[in-house]
Structure 1
Amino acid sequence: MSTINPSDQPAPLVQPSPNPRPRRTLSAGKEFRRWLAKWSRWLHIYLSMFGLAAILFFSATGITLNHPDWFFEEHLVQLEGKLPVAWLHVDGNPPNDWDGYDLSHEVDKLEVAEHLRAEHRLTGRLSDFLVFDDECEVTFEGPGYASTARISRESGEYTLDVTSNDLVTVMNDLHKGRHTGEVWSWVIDISAIIGVLVSLTGFVLIFFLRLRLKSALLVALAGTLALYAVYWVARG
């Protein structure tokens, strides 16, 4: 007599529920809240990571800017040289809007500037080139750096003062955008925008932390009032 193995028996069919539960649809308001929470969290995390170096840099240099006496070291080097007199007396026509004082059209500014830069390995951008009756004054400037040449138009002889500062001063000038050019100006603007977005998305995320919403808003309000109070005290 054969025995029936229970495993050989067909599995009972699962009968579907006669009344399946309908899928819940979110209202427009709840759908928007879910979308806002998702994208606020995404932006907050990845913008923080992308702009981490910039935020750290501008935060640290904010301290060094506020206390310049803590970090400051300056090096001054004085040099001498001579330029061809012909570069300082050229027959150039004055511009149409000439004010009668700036004599730049009488000097070969390109030759003078490039010679100074190559001869003394000057860095920075040419920020000023002033020409007077008896002398010229040429200035190159960069973050934490300045060099000024005073040239006699009669003899071509000049003195050059090269001032360079320490790394902290360079970083402070970068923070202020001082003598940095258009590219670094874009870096400052983009960093500021990232900082604003990180702050705003962080504030938005507070409203999705229901258990801590009240305390978080109180702390945010206290910080705002403290900053406002310090402002009024600073005004004297």
Structure 2
Amino acid sequence: MPRAEAVRPAPRPRPLKTRVNVWARTLHTYTSVVSLLAVLFFALTGITLNHPDWAFGNSQTRQEYAGTLPAGWLQGGQVNWLAVAEELRSRHGLHGRAGDTRVDGGEASLSFKAPGYGADAFIDTATGRYTLTVDAQGAVAVLNDLHRGRDSGRAWGWLIDLSGALLALVSLTGLVILLYLKRTRGPALALLLAGGLLTGLLMWRALG
């Protein structure tokens, strides 16, 4: 007679508590890896933002130029800002986003902004003559402006938002994992509460 095959029992579904723990550990691991460089960047630039008197890599240079715009920068009595911006870029190697355009009486002005960088042009609307001032700061100022998202563009703003969301997820999943560690859960939660109270106290004193 043929031997009957042993019937394996169906695997029992894991309890919800176990599944939550596994998902928390998985999310915590991978979000930590993905956000590692963001954590390092914002941590270091947070220190340099808090110490603006530190001078390393924070030198500033100023250059001044003058010239005359070619014909066509005024069209029908209106300033062709695109033509003006591209002309100034090509002549003086400007970068950043052009904006803050203004016409006031006989003077027009235009600015270029980027992290750690600014250029301001003032144009005589009667003659087309302009003066241009370019301020470029050092590497630390550039990084600080990137930290704040100042004049850095929409794409960098999205990166800041994504970094914040990832760091929040790392923190929340870390807290979930902590709740499963029976031996260290009590002291760790007490330390977390103490840190929260200390942070709140320092915040209150800063606002006062």
Same fold (TM over 0.5): yes
User: Cα offset for 1:111?
Assistant: 1.4
Q: Does 1:209 align with 2:193?
A: no
User: Cα offset for 1:133?
Assistant: 2.3
Tell me the amino acid that sits aligned with residue 196 of structure 1.
A
What residue is the counterpart of 2:67 in the other structure?
Answer: 81
Alpha-carbon separation, structure 1, partners of 2:125 and 2:71? 7
What residue is the counterpart of 2:88 in the other structure?
Answer: 116
SS of the equivalent of 1:211 reads helix
Indicate the structure with greater strand content: 2
Distance 1:136 1:85, change over 3 A: farther
Alpha-carbon separation, structure 2, partners of 1:182 and 1:214? 43
What residue is the counterpart of 1:151 in the other structure?
Answer: 123
Alpha-carbon separation, structure 2, partners of 1:145 and 1:229? 37
What residue is the counterpart of 1:91 in the other structure?
Answer: 76
Q: Give the one of 61, 64, 76 matched to 2:48.
A: 64
Tell me the amino acid that sits aligned with residue 173 of structure 2.
T
Does the Cα contact within 8 Å between 1:40 and 1:205 map onto a contact in 2? yes
User: Cα offset for 1:84?
Assistant: 2.7
Structure with the bigger RCO (C-alpha within 8 Å, sep 6+) is 2
User: Cα offset for 1:41?
Assistant: 0.6
Q: Does 1:52 align with 2:24?
A: no
User: Cα offset for 1:123?
Assistant: 0.3
SS of the equivalent of 1:69 reads coil
Q: After superposition, what is the alpha-carbon deviation per residue over 1:4-27, rounded to whole angstroms, capped at 9, x for unaligned?
A: xxxxxxxxxxxxxxxxxx99956x
Q: Give the one of 166, 178, 203 matched to 2:150.
A: 178
Gaps of 5+ in 1: 1-21, 93-105
Alpha-carbon separation, structure 2, partners of 1:113 and 1:48? 42
What residue is the counterpart of 2:27 in the other structure?
Answer: 43
Tell me the amino acid that sits aligned with residue 32 of structure 1.
L
Q: Does 1:33 align with 2:5?
A: no
What residue is the counterpart of 2:3 in the other structure?
Answer: none
CA RMSD of aligned residues (A): 1.7
Alpha-carbon separation, structure 2, partners of 1:165 and 1:32? 54
Which aligned segments of 4 or more residues in structure 1 are displaced greater than 4 angstroms?
A: 22-26
Alpha-carbon separation, structure 2, partners of 1:113 and 1:214? 62
Tell me the amino acid that sits aligned with residue 80 of structure 1.
A
Structure with higher Rg: it is: 1
Q: After superposition, what is the alpha-carbon deviation per residue over 1:184-231, rounded to whole angstroms, capped at 9, x for unaligned?
A: 011000000000000000011111111111111111111111101111
Q: Does 1:190 align with 2:162?
A: yes
Distance 1:133 1:84, change over 3 A: farther
Does the Cα contact within 8 Å between 1:85 and 1:154 map onto a contact in 2? no
Aligned residues: 198
Q: After superposition, what is the alpha-carbon deviation per residue over 1:101-127, rounded to whole angstroms, capped at 9, x for unaligned?
A: xxxxx1122211110011111000012
What residue is the counterpart of 1:231 in the other structure?
Answer: 203
Alpha-carbon separation, structure 2, partners of 1:231 and 1:24? 52
